[in-house]
Amino acid sequence: MSAPLATRRLLASVLAVGALIGAAAIPAAAHDDDRRGHRDRLSSIVIGDIQDDSLGRGHDNRALNREWVEVKNTGRHAVNLRGFTLSDRDGNRYRFDHLRLDGRSSVKVHTGRGRDTDRDVYQDRRHQIWDERDTATLRDDRGRVIDTETWGRRSHHGHHDNDHR
C-alpha cells in the first residue's frame, strides 16, 4: 500500500523545510555558544591584589615598580588582553599590547619602567599614579568595564595589598 502522491509530496516538502531550518539554526547556535564562551572568558578576568606605594612616595624606578595592580584570569582558558585598559581615578590609563594571559594565572602592571614579560608589564611612567585612596578600573578591548576595585580610608570596597578573593 502506498500513500497518495499528494501526501508523499507534502511529507517530502515538510522534511525538506525542516532540514533547511535545522541547518540554518546550527551555525547560529554555534555562534551564540562562541559569544557566550567569549563572555564567560572575559568574566574570568578580574583585578587581583593591589599595591600602592603611598608610604614610600619615592620617584626612582624601584619605588615606582613597588606599586602595581594585578590582573588575574580565574578561568581555565587563556584570554588575549590586547586592547584592554587599566585606569585610575584621575584618568591615567595603561593599554595592554598583545598579552595572552593563560588560565589560572596573573600579570602585575607596574608603574615604572622595565622589560615586559608574561608575568610583569610596565607602564613606563616617571611618577606614581596609585594613591592611598583610588580606584582601578579594568576595561575590555571595546571599552566595557570588566572589573573595578576601590580602596582607601573611607570607601574600601575591594581588597588591597595581600588580601585575596
Closest CA to 137 of 69, 80, 73: 69
Residue 133 lies in a domain: yes
**Strand order across the 45-51 sheet:** 45-51, 68-73, 105-110, 120-122
Residues 37 and 51 in one domain: no
Pick the closest to residue 78 from 118, 47, 116, 117 (CA basis): 118
Q: What is the total count of domains within the chain?
A: 2
Mean pLDDT of all residues in 21-27? 49
Q: Based on the domain organization, do 94 and 122 belong to the same domain?
A: yes
The answer as to whether 163 is a domain residue is: no
pLDDT exceeding 70 applies to what percent of the chain? 64
User: Quick check: is 156 in a domain?
Assistant: no
Interatomic CA distance for residues 129 and 68, integer angstroms? 10
Q: What's the pLDDT score for residue 42?
A: 72
Do 78 and 19 share a structural domain? no
Whether 51 maps to a domain, the answer reads yes
134 domain-assigned: yes
Cα 60 to its chain centre, rounded Å, is: 30
Percent of the chain with pLDDT over 90: 59
Alpha helices in 44-118 (DSSP H): 61-65
pLDDT at residue 30, rounded to an integer: 39
Residue range(s) defining the domain that contains residue 30: 1-43
pLDDT of residue 59: 76
- Grid cell of 93 as nine digits: 590609563
Mean pLDDT of 73-102: 97
- The yes-or-no verdict on residue 5 having pLDDT over 70 is no
Residue at 32 is within a domain: yes
Within 54-104, strands assigned E span 68-73, 79-80, 85-87, 93-95, 100-101
Residues 68, 122 within the same domain: yes
- How many other C-beta atoms can be found within 10 angstroms of the C-beta atom of residue 67? 24
Q: What is the mean pLDDT of the chain?
A: 80
